[in-house]
Structure 1
Amino acid sequence: MNRRTFGKTVLVGALALPSRAVALGPSVSGGGRGIPLSRLREQMKAQGGREVRVPLLPEAAEALKGVESLEAEGSGRVPHYLRAFGAVPAAARPFAQLIKTVYTRGSVAPAVKLAMGLTLAQLDGSPYAAAHLERLLRACGEKGRSLLRALEVGSYSGLEAPERASLEYARALGRGPTGLDDATFDGLRAHYHDAQLVELAVTVCFSSYFTRLCEGAGLPIEPWAGDTLPAAIPSAAESSAPRVALMSDAEFDAYRELVERAKSGQGAAKSLGLGIAHSQRAMVRAPEQMRAWFGYWATVREAQAVDTATKLQVSFAVSMQNGCRYCTVHQVVGLRRAGVDVAKLIAMKKDDAALTPREKVAVVFARQLTRQPIVSSPADYKALEAEFGTQGAFELLLQTCAFNFMNRFTDGLRLPSEDEAIKVYQEVYGPGSYEGYRKRQ
């Protein structure tokens, strides 16, 4: 497998899954180009009276006042994807900032990124996410409409080469980190420089997060969504940047922030002892997206209705399900530092027998939502809620979404594991275990 230079980081070959995860396979919900938009529209209409699974914030809630919504200013429209944070209200505002940053800011045209998001909604079979992403795409002028036509007919042949490459990349990585081959990545790389590649990676990863949040929470479409457009979305400025982008002032500033955070007590406590992780070193190339993602996630992590070990169990299960070598190794580090017994860690590589009944409820839900978001049922979420309560269930939903994001980001870019992470992994599974894991591909 090829090695690629990514800034100063070498993107090495992704590692194979343990045997149990190979049997489960990555998330593939649609096959081909996913569910046709016409069918998703029909499903969306049928779900108008859908039973929402999470407490919704009131539209006039303090947490939603002044948010940077993608809806037209003064419209009074508050989408359910922002109201869904009733269990963790403090996260609503940074989530609004995150979704706006991912899709409308940066150097890649918003229409392209929204079309990538809509591709993920097709793959994951999410009528709700598809409805909103289609609305946003229609607000992007002629470029948005041409991309929407391509998605409607299921053919990219009439698009410009960079747009075709972007959608093929979204389709490949959207299936899971093991679904992205060298040819597809190299096709994208021919049109974008490194900073833009990270921006596009974040777009796909966030879209995977978004579809699972919408389906896991059971969000029904708003009555106004089918008949109105959001605010007009401006096009990105044409970029004449060199193919190998020079590091910008914004990237330097963002990296200094990471260094300061790593030196602080709080940063060190949350870094698993790894300093600045390679995932952070990569994401800093898209500083706006990095700040929005980490700012949002820092707010979510403040919620503590579920203990850290259980959340790590969920992250481990999702990473195994998706075949993410980088995140699987990180979760082993986290679980080991949380005091989980080595024997239990070894057993968890094979099956769920070592999990407590409470842990198993969380893990089974996380795997199901990871594998096929649209199959997740109200009964699945109610079982989670019965065990962990309203806030705890929502925290675990967000944890599941987060590692569907991170798995695609880290292994989609083939980020190498940090030396300290490899060391801890080998302390758990024995000398040479990491190399053995790495060669099973």
Structure 2
Amino acid sequence: MAFVHLLDIDDLPEGPRRVAESGQEQYGQLLNTWRSLFHRPEIFESYLPFLRSVAGPGAVDQEIKDLSALLVAWLNGCRYTVSHRWTGALRGGADPDRLLDVVRGRWDRFDPPLRCALELAREVTSSPPVVAPSRQAGLLSGTVREDVSTHFTEPQIVELTMSISMWNALSRFHRLMQFELDMPAPPGPVDRELLQGKDL
């Protein structure tokens, strides 16, 4: 059961309602994240356009953003976010076996920019709770920092790290809110690991 009551589109004032209607038209439904944010219409009104600007087409290859977002959701152990990122990646044309390789850490066949982005996502997701700023002020190991600077321009670095950071925030928000799935569950083995608890 969700932590907060999920509101409906009729609960929104005009401006946020237009944003919600646009999202509903695009996705064919109102997502539970949105319905929780309806409690704060001014947040929701800016949330969806911001999400589209970060997660949608930009300076970074869409596959890189989609797969790094999936990895972030997986590392956070968030079934709801994994279901969204898995479904979104499939809609974008991703190969299901490739998605499975992402969560299994089988990255050796990926090209260097994608591997680099996944390493970046792993460090940004895993390092903050355990790496003191005095040991590593910028969160990244020297190798990952160098690789990121080699494979991505500065605008791409900003976009990619914002995407990774945003999915970290949303994964944690989703876990706290305990939303029921509103998109298809991840494939059986992946879903079982999320439900049974996996080593993160």
Q: Given that residues 312 and 331 in structure 1 are in contact (C-alpha distance below 8 angstroms), is that contact kept between their aligned partners in structure 2?
A: yes
Q: Given that residues 12 and 41 in structure 2 are in contact (C-alpha distance below 8 angstroms), is that contact kept between their aligned partners in structure 1?
A: yes
CA apart distance, 1:352 = 2.9
Q: Using the alignment, how far apart are the partners of 1:297 and 1:308 within structure 2?
A: 14
The equivalent residue for 2:149 is: 385
TM-score scaled to structure 2, two decimals?
A: 0.77
Q: Using the alignment, how far apart are the partners of 1:261 and 1:362 within structure 2?
A: 31
Q: Using the alignment, how far apart are the partners of 1:385 and 1:352 within structure 2?
A: 23
Q: Given that residues 320 and 328 in structure 1 are in contact (C-alpha distance below 8 angstroms), is that contact kept between their aligned partners in structure 2?
A: yes
CA-atom RMSD in angstroms: 2.9
CA apart distance, 1:294 = 3.1
The equivalent residue for 2:42 is: 288
Q: Given that residues 12 and 38 in structure 2 are in contact (C-alpha distance below 8 angstroms), is that contact kept between their aligned partners in structure 1?
A: yes
Which of 11, 31, 37 lines up with 1:277 in the alignment? 31
2:79 equivalent to 1:325: yes
Instruction: Give 2:17's aligned amino acid.
Output: R
Q: Using the alignment, how far apart are the partners of 2:3 and 2:140 within structure 1?
A: 42
Determine helix, strand or coil for the equivalent of 1:313: helix
Q: Given that residues 381 and 393 in structure 1 are in contact (C-alpha distance below 8 angstroms), is that contact kept between their aligned partners in structure 2?
A: no
2:127 equivalent to 1:372: yes
Higher relative contact order (CA 8 A, sep 6+): 2
Paired residues for 1:108-147 under 5 Å? none
2:196 equivalent to 1:440: yes
Q: 1:315 to 1:338 in 2, by over 3 A?
A: same
**Aligned residue-pair number:** 186
Q: Using the alignment, how far apart are the partners of 1:293 and 1:4 within structure 2?
A: 20
Q: Using the alignment, how far apart are the partners of 1:348 and 1:361 within structure 2?
A: 12
Determine helix, strand or coil for the equivalent of 1:279: helix
Which of 405, 413, 433 lines up with 2:177 in the alignment? 413
Instruction: Give 2:120's aligned amino acid.
Output: F
CA apart distance, 1:327 = 0.8
CA apart distance, 1:421 = 2.4
Q: Given that residues 3 and 176 in structure 2 are in contact (C-alpha distance below 8 angstroms), is that contact kept between their aligned partners in structure 1?
A: no
The equivalent residue for 2:12 is: 251
2:150 equivalent to 1:396: no
Post-superposition Cα deviations, 1:282-304, rounded to whole Å, max 9, x if no partner, equal: 11111122223334334445661
Q: Using the alignment, how far apart are the partners of 1:372 and 1:6 within structure 2?
A: 30
Post-superposition Cα deviations, 1:88-108, rounded to whole Å, max 9, x if no partner, equal: xxxxxxxxxxxxxxxxxxxxx
Q: 1:324 to 1:303 in 2, by over 3 A?
A: same
CA apart distance, 1:263 = 5.1
Q: Using the alignment, how far apart are the partners of 1:348 and 1:299 within structure 2?
A: 24
Q: Using the alignment, how far apart are the partners of 2:118 and 2:22 within structure 1?
A: 31
The equivalent residue for 2:113 is: 358
Q: Using the alignment, how far apart are the partners of 1:5 and 1:343 within structure 2?
A: 34
Post-superposition Cα deviations, 1:351-402, rounded to whole Å, max 9, x if no partner, equal: 1335332211001011111112443248433421310212111111101110
Q: 1:393 to 1:276 in 2, by over 3 A?
A: same
CA apart distance, 1:403 = 0.7
Instruction: Give 1:383's aligned amino acid.
Output: D
CA apart distance, 1:5 = 6.3
The equivalent residue for 1:306 is: 60
Q: Given that residues 336 and 342 in structure 1 are in contact (C-alpha distance below 8 angstroms), is that contact kept between their aligned partners in structure 2?
A: yes
Tell me which moved more, 398-407 or 285-294.
Answer: 285-294
Q: Given that residues 78 and 171 in structure 2 are in contact (C-alpha distance below 8 angstroms), is that contact kept between their aligned partners in structure 1?
A: yes
Q: Using the alignment, how far apart are the partners of 2:2 and 2:160 within structure 1?
A: 35
Percent identity between matched residues is 19
TM-score scaled to structure 1, two decimals?
A: 0.38
CA apart distance, 1:412 = 0.9
Listed as ranges, the gaps of 5+ residues in structure 2 are none
Paired residues for 1:162-201 under 5 Å? none
Q: Using the alignment, how far apart are the partners of 1:287 and 1:263 within structure 2?
A: 16
